[in-house]
Chains A and B, each alone.
Chain A
Amino acid sequence: MLPHQDEKEPTSYRGSCGSCPVTVRKMPYLGSEDVVKELKKALCNPHIQADRLRYRNVIQRVIRYMTQGLDMSGVFMEMVKASATVDIVQKKLVYLYMCTYAPLKPDLALLAINTLCKDCSDPNPMVRGLALRSMCSLRMPGVQEYIQQPILNGLRDKASYVRRVAVLGCAKMHNLHGDSEVDGALVNELYSLLRDQDPIVVVNCLRSLEEILKLEGGVVINKPIAHHLLNRMSKLDQWGQAEVLNFLLRYQPRSEEELFDILNLLDSFLKSSSPGVVMGATKLFLILAKKFPHVQTDVLVRVKGPLLAACSSESRELCFVALCHVRQILHSLPGHFSSHYKKFFCSYSEPHYIKLQKVEVLCELVNDENVQQVLEELRGYCTDVSADFAQSAIFAIGGIARTYTDQCVQILTELLGLRQEHITTVVVQTFRDLVWLCPQCTEAVCQALPGCEENIQDSEGKQALIWLLGVHGERIPNAPYVLEDFVENVKSETFPAVKMELLTALLRLFLSRPAECQDMLGRLLYYCIEEEKDMAVRDRGLFYYRLLLVGIDEVKRILCSPKSDPTLGLLEDPAERPVNSWASDFNTLVPVYGKAHWATISKCQGAERCGPELPKTSSFAASGPLIPEDNKEREQELPDSGALMLVPNRQLTADYFEKTWLSLKVAHQQVLPWRGEFHPDTLQMALQVVNIQTIAMSRAGTRPWKAYLSAQDDTGCLFLTELLLEPENSEMQISVKQNEARTETLNSFISVLETVIGTIEEIKS
């Protein structure tokens, strides 16, 4: 019966549907004309028309072809005729067909509209509803004038099925009008339909009003409406309940008494079998009770059970989202789930995203009683087949180590014994962060380190190891020899960041163990300055080289000056956050993404895409605390700042400078804040790194302090600068002159200058 070309059916059913008419792919389909012809003949055949079942089968074939992407618009007339039937399935199919092709065949669409209009007054409410829904879904110009009356009739229909459709139809009609004017009468009618006896009509009214009044801030929930909705809550289905709970967030109770009345009414929804409703109710509680912290805490205690149940739900997706919310709550109530810590043990068959969340949760609910068990459990995960999971377990142990240092360091040390690359690298990174935050463990870490260089291949791990060797090299006997290996292989090293770290580390180690390091430091500097191709590495090499020329004391002062205080808040875990700081994010996507990440996602929608990375506790770990790191980042940014390229070694004589300076006018003047001590040498060196030469400057401590700088870009444009520091005003005044008036390069130059000064300022503080 069917043409044999059928075998080539595309695998995808492209359907279109009520609300969206066009998806039909126009694809050249061999023989589709024959199919259309054959179907047309069948549809017109009075014998088939007389046999209800056969007639419907033909129509079903039309639909099937349509969803497979064949152009079936050729039988439009015949299909419209087929809608004149009492068979509801047949009607549905024809409506589906009409909605798909009407916009493609505007000349015939009127025919469809007439048929639908007629069906809108059919005695069968189901037919009325279906016809109205299909009509509202015809997205084509000019359809508004036809649908308005049927919608208005539908709002007053005695069958709730039709009213539900009509209410949503209002929103669709509004969209067709281009969202411009709001029809006041219609809005009033919808507000009055909030009193409809059918619960779904009520919820649809809210949905529809929300869309129509979008520009005015959505549907207004005043006191009578709020209480009406609260009283209808128990009659709604779970979707309705969840949505109404969301709308109620807009309502602000007038008195404390009213507030507690509302909370009492909502109580039972905290026990709903639908996690969505439970979360919606929880959020409403948290928001309404924002002035009553004890009520908030009480609510969180009561949803503990449902949340935990969701965390072990059959649906892995529910588990995941529930776990994200558990973490959110833990931010404010650490220990809230501590007695249930075993619920967060991972089962090996769970998907990764759940395991990673569970590990994060475990890490946050450790206390004196469970630390042993939790660590044992985490220790088990560290050898998991999945490297990602194993690594996150190690990071988690590192997190716990901030409180329970000894136990954790011991576990981490044991892990090094496995000599597995992916484990060793993460352990070493964890160690690096740890000695920084918990200096008391330095000794243990130093003892654990020897030997692990053999099992580290990746950039992050090498950096961490080299950093540790540099900073604590005096306590690690073989430190110079390990670094020497890195120096030997520096040519084949692929990561510039590792070379940078190596430079810094070796220079540091040189300060504490000069005899062992001098030779290789020389080799490394030579390599970096003469052979290295990466600019940042080369500049760093030069920077250190010049620093060494100034004298060893100066090197010591700069490299080993006091580190920033580890108790600084930003390095520590964020303190407990009040519930109110996240209540409005509860039951949204924020807990899934983390607030900061969510902000970037929503901000750069359209500009950039961000993967759903899960925040890691160790995110701060990447950048060490040292001065040069800061510089490094800045330097790498510099080439981006406009098209400015400053030429190195462009040394002007003092005379020439003076002459030019006097002959030019100030092109730019600005003031930067500056507090406290000041080291001219540091500034000079930093400026040199970005190819700004210092012509002259006052000695340290002079008041006011002055400096004259010069620089030239690749087009020959000269920038002459005066820095004037007046410590009592806490500000640095910058005046720049330019021999060619070019605003663009001037701005780039100034931003370079600002960056350098800013960096020095940061280092100092």
Chain B
Amino acid sequence: MKMIHSLFLINCSGDIFLEKHWKSVVSQSVCDYFFEAQEKAADVENVPPVISTPHHYLISIYRDKLFFVSVIQTEVPPLFVIEFLHRVADTFQDYFGECSEAAIKDNVVIVYELLEEMLDNGFPLATESNILKELIKPPTILRSVVNSITGSSNVGDTLPTGQLSNIPWRRAGVKYTNNEAYFDVVEEIDAIIDKSGSTVFAEIQGVIDACIKLSGMPDLSLSFMNPRLLDDVSFHPCIRFKRWESERILSFIPPDGNFRLISYRVSSQNLVAIPVYVKHSISFKENSSCGRFDITIGPKQNMGKTIEGITVTVHMPKVVLNMNLTTTQGSYTFDPVTKVLTWDVGKITPQKLPSLKGLVNLQSGAPKPEENPSLNIQFKIQQLAISGLKVNRLDMYGEKYKPFKGVKYVTKAGKFQVRT
């Protein structure tokens, strides 16, 4: 089973700006099939992730306005390849701060080094960020300054010790002066709210991301006040599954550095609180070239916390030419080409609810739109896990020092959509 034969990176305007082959060279012309599919899809967002060509399959992902197109020669589990491509993109993000064409071109030598270590003969090898970083140091301004002074190299001369550890996700001999363990509980609410304000569908997608900087081989146990809240949990390989099954405790030897400990869902609908509501009235008059637009946004079931970072995005119907709106708070923009209205609201203060209202100019003579547009809402609530999940305690075994521990909670809107 040969996994990935070649990789092409393609930007939105269809330039292949990087290619890497792990076996023989596959001609760039194979990408023509991809371009054809792209053309057919009209919008870059809609290019199907699996394309078959006479001699190959192209499996691609779309990330940060870039396509990672892998060339596959034999039948493979598609999920495997997709996950791997995302891992490559994550690694670039991690190394260069962003996964953009410019960043990749600027660091092309490191990119090649990385791809070389991540795959050999088409098979995934080193993909854990902490192990990769020992093989290839990421570029930082600070480091290049230090290097230029000391003349030291990007890479330590010693073999990364993690390669020899029997626990594949943790290197041996880790040492820190400050021993710290931080956990971020991040919950995203996916919801569809119908016209009348009632919930069509709501669900919480949660993750616990950890940043562990502990010396030696610490063995951690993390327990929750209310573990039964979690519906479907998937675990980092380090977690002892049996322990979770029997005691609902997360017990693990952590990887070094940043990693995702678990991800979970809370889907029983009565448990999903909806922290904002929207009052809306959007209407287009028959046989007239204008319409009215009026939305107000307010807090609801927000557990007394401030809702901030609110942005409302609306894809207006094609016949909308322009919008003349006034807002009580924040600022709005309307792009007459893409027909996207963006309202950057900021925080909600309950005393004065933010609103946006005014007139919509329509193309004259065109029939009035069949449907009102949906509102896409982004927001953030600090120090709250909307599901109510709470970490009870973190214990460490196997090492003697006292680590510094911390848990942060944040709730965000995921795909949060209000129909009007």
Q: Which residues of A contact B (CB under 8 A)?
A: 11-20, 22-23, 51-53, 56, 60, 63-64, 67, 86-90, 92-93, 96, 124-126, 133, 139, 159-161, 164-165, 168, 171-172, 197-200, 203-204, 207, 210-211, 234-239, 241-243, 246, 267-268, 271-276, 278-280, 305-306, 308-310, 312, 315-318, 320-322, 340, 342-343, 345, 347-349, 351-353, 377, 380, 383, 385, 418, 420, 587-589, 592-593, 601, 604-612
Question: With an 8 A cutoff between CB atoms, is B399 at the interface?
Answer: no
**B30-47: which have CB < 8 Å to A?**
33, 37, 40-41, 43, 45-47
Q: Are B83 and A63 in contact (CB under 8 A)?
A: no
Given A160-B163, A273-B234; A243-B1 close (CB under 8 Å): yes
Q: Provided the pairs A276-B79, A342-B201, A608-B54 are in contact, do residues A18 and B19 lie with their beta carbons within 8 angstroms? A: no
Query: How far, in angstroms, from A269 to B105 measured CA to CA in the complex?
Result: 38
| Contact status of A308 and B232, CB under 8 A, knowing A60-B109, A342-B201 | yes
Chain B residues contacting A242 (CB-CB under 8 Å) are 77, 80
The smallest beta-carbon distance between B14 and chain A, in angstroms, is 11
> Are B417 and A385 in touch, CB under 8 angstroms?
no
Mark B43-65 against chain A: 1 for CB-CB distance below 8 A, else 0. 10111111111110101111000
- Residue of A20, A172, A377 ringed by the most chain B CB atoms within 10 A: A20
Question: In this complex, what residue of B is CB-closest to A279?
Answer: B79
Which of chain A's residues have a CB closer than 8 A to the CB of B20?
Answer: 15-17
Q: Is the CB–CB distance between B21 and A16 below 8 Å? A: yes
Q: How would residues 240 to 268 of chain B score, 1 for a CB under 8 Å from any chain A CB and 0 otherwise?
A: 01100000000000000000101101010
Instruction: Say whether B83 contacts A19, CB under 8 Å.
Output: no
Chain B residues, CB < 8 A from A133: 120
State in angstroms the CA–CA spacing of A608 and B47 once bound together: 21
**Given A19-B23, A273-B237, A342-B200: A353 touches B163 (CB 8 Å cut-off):** no
Answer yes or no: B315 CB below 8 A from chain A CBs: yes
Does the CB pair A312–B1 fall under 8 Å?
A: no
B298-306, B369-377, B403-411 - the one binding chain A: B369-377
A-B pairs, 3 with minimum CB distance:
A305-B232, A268-B241, A342-B201
The answer to whether A17 touches B22, judged by C-beta atoms less than 8 angstroms apart, is yes
Please list 27 pairs of residues, one from A and one from B, whose beta carbons are closer than 8 Å in the complex, sorted by A's number: A12-B17, A18-B116, A19-B121, A23-B19, A51-B151, A63-B109, A67-B108, A126-B135, A159-B164, A172-B121, A199-B168, A200-B125, A207-B121, A237-B124, A237-B237, A239-B127, A273-B260, A305-B232, A315-B82, A345-B192, A345-B200, A352-B46, A587-B78, A588-B77, A589-B78, A592-B78, A611-B51
B331 within 8 A of A: no
Tell me which residues across on chain A come within 8 A of B49, comparing CB atoms.
316-317, 320-321, 353
Interchain CB contact under 8 A, B371 and A317:
no
B52 with A610: CB separation less than 8 A: yes
CB distance from B263 to the nearest CB of A (A): 6
Contact of B124 among A53, A239, A588 (CB under 8 A): A239
List the interface of chain B (C-beta within 8 A of A): 1-2, 15-25, 33, 37, 40-41, 43, 45-55, 57, 59-62, 75-80, 82-86, 105, 108-109, 112-113, 115-116, 120-121, 123-125, 127-128, 135, 147-148, 151, 153-155, 157-160, 163-164, 166-169, 190, 192, 200-201, 203, 205, 231-237, 241-242, 260, 262-263, 265, 267, 315, 317-318, 370-371, 374, 376, 415, 417, 419
Q: Are B83 and A589 in touch, CB under 8 angstroms?
A: no
A274 neighbours in B (Cβ, 8 Å): 83
- Are the C-beta atoms of B235 and A271 separated by less than 8 Å? yes
- A612 near B37 with CB under 8 A, answer yes
Q: Please give me the residue from chain B that is nearest to A320 by CB atom.
A: B49
Asked whether A168 lies within 8 Å of B241 as measured between CB atoms, the reply is no
Whole-angstrom distance between the Cβ of B59 and the nearest chain A Cβ:
8
Chain B min CB distance to A667 (Å) = 41
CA distance A594 to B349 in the complex (A): 53
**Is the pair B241, A276 in contact by a Cβ cutoff of 8 Å?**
no
A271 to B326, CA, bound (A): 50
Q: Is there contact, CB below 8 Å, between A125 and B21?
A: no
CB-CB under 8 A from B75, the residues of chain A are 588-589
| CB neighbours of B120 from chain A (8 A) | 18-19, 133, 164-165, 168
Q: Is the CB of B78 within 8 A of A238?
A: no
Chain B residues within an 8 Å CB radius of A589: 50, 57, 75-76, 78
Q: Which of B45, B83, B105 contacts A318 (CB 8 A)?
A: B83
> Known contacts being A17-B116, A20-B21, is A237 close to B169, with CB within 8 Å?
yes
* Chain A residues near B128 (CB-CB < 8 A): 237
Within the complex, the shortest CB–CB distance from B321 to chain A, in Å, comes to 16
Q: Please tell me if the beta carbons of A20 and B80 are within 8 angstroms of each other in the complex.
A: no
Cα distance A52–B33 in the bound complex, in angstroms: 46
CB within 8 A of A305: which of B1, B18, B231? B231
Beyond known contacts A14-B19, A197-B166: 9 more, CB 8 A cutoff? A18-B116, A53-B147, A133-B120, A139-B24, A159-B159, A238-B237, A312-B203, A312-B415, A593-B52
**Distance, CA A201 to CA B202, complexed state (A):** 45
CB < 8 Å neighbour of A306 from B46, B154, B159, B232: B232
Q: How distant is the Cα of A125 from the Cα of B153 in the complex, in angstroms?
A: 17
B161 smallest CB distance to A (angstroms): 11
Report the Cα distance A443→B135, complex, angstroms: 74
Q: Which residue of B lies closest to A159 (CB)?
A: B159
- Within the complex, the shortest CB–CB distance from B131 to chain A, in Å, comes to 10
The CA of A467 and the CA of B374, in the complex, are separated in Å by 38
Q: Which residues of A contact B83 (CB under 8 A)?
A: 238, 274-276, 318
- Whether the Cβ atoms of B54 and A609 lie closer than 8 Å is yes
Residues of chain A with a CB closer than 8 A to B231's CB: 305
Residues of B within 8 A of A316 (CB): 49, 62
Tell me if B234 and A309 are in contact (CB < 8 A). Answer: yes
Which residues of chain B come closer than 8 Å to A275, judged between CB atoms? 79, 83
In the bound complex, residues from chain B placing their C-beta under 8 Å from that of A317 are: 49, 59-62, 82, 85-86
Instruction: Report the separation of the CA atoms of residues A87 and B154 in the bound assembly, to the nearest whole angstrom.
Output: 9
The answer to whether A309 and B263 touch (CB under 8 A), given A13-B18, A16-B25, A17-B20, is yes
Choose among A12, A199, A237, A380 the residue that contacts B16 (Cβ–Cβ < 8 A).
A12
A609 adjacent to B33 (CB under 8 Å): yes
Nearest CB in chain A to that of B232: its residue? A305
A321 near B78 with CB under 8 A, answer yes
Known pairs A15-B19, A589-B75, A612-B37; A124 contacts B57 (CB<8 A): no
Closest approach, in angstroms, between the C-beta of B28 and any C-beta of chain A? Answer: 8
Q: Which residues of B contact A608 (CB under 8 A)?
A: 54
Residues of B contacting A56 in the complex (Cβ-Cβ under 8 angstroms): 153
Contact of A276 with B234 in the complex, beta carbons under 8 Å: no
Q: B235 to chain A: which residues have CB within 8 Å?
A: 271-273
CB-defined contacts of B50 to chain A, threshold 8 Å: 320-321, 589, 592-593, 612
Instruction: Give the residues in chain A near B263, CB-CB below 8 Å.
Output: 273, 309
State whether A272 touches B234 (Cβ < 8 A): yes
> With the chains together, A63 CA to B158 CA distance in Å?
24
Shortest C-beta distance, B228 to chain A (Å), equals: 15
Q: How far is the CA of A139 from the CA of B167 in the complex (A)?
A: 35
CB neighbours (8 Å) of B164 from chain A are 159-161, 198
Contacts of B1 in A (CB 8 A): 207, 210, 243, 246
* A316–B84 alpha-carbon span in the complex (Å): 14
CA distance A106 to B370 in the complex (A): 70
Closest to A20 in B: B21
Taking A242-B77, A342-B200, A589-B78 as contacts, is the C-beta distance between A19 and B237 under 8 angstroms? no
Chain A contacts of B54 at CB under 8 A?
604-609
Please state if B234 and A271 are interface contacts (CB–CB under 8 Å).
Answer: yes
A305-B231, A349-B376 are known contacts. Are A19 and B105 too (CB-CB below 8 A)?
A: no
Contacts of B167 in A (CB 8 A): 235
Question: Quick check: B115 and A17 within 8 Å, CB to CB?
Answer: yes
Q: Which residue of chain A lies nearest to B238 when distances are taken between CB atoms in the complex?
A: A234
Given contacts A305-B231, A589-B57, A612-B48, contact A348 B237 (CB under 8 A): no
Query: A666 vs B191: C-alpha distance in the bound complex, in angstroms?
Result: 77
Bound state CA distance, A731 and B268, in angstroms?
A: 66
Tell me if B45 and A237 are in contact (CB < 8 A).
no
**Complex Cα distance A56/B109, Å?**
12
A628 to B157, CA, bound (A): 80
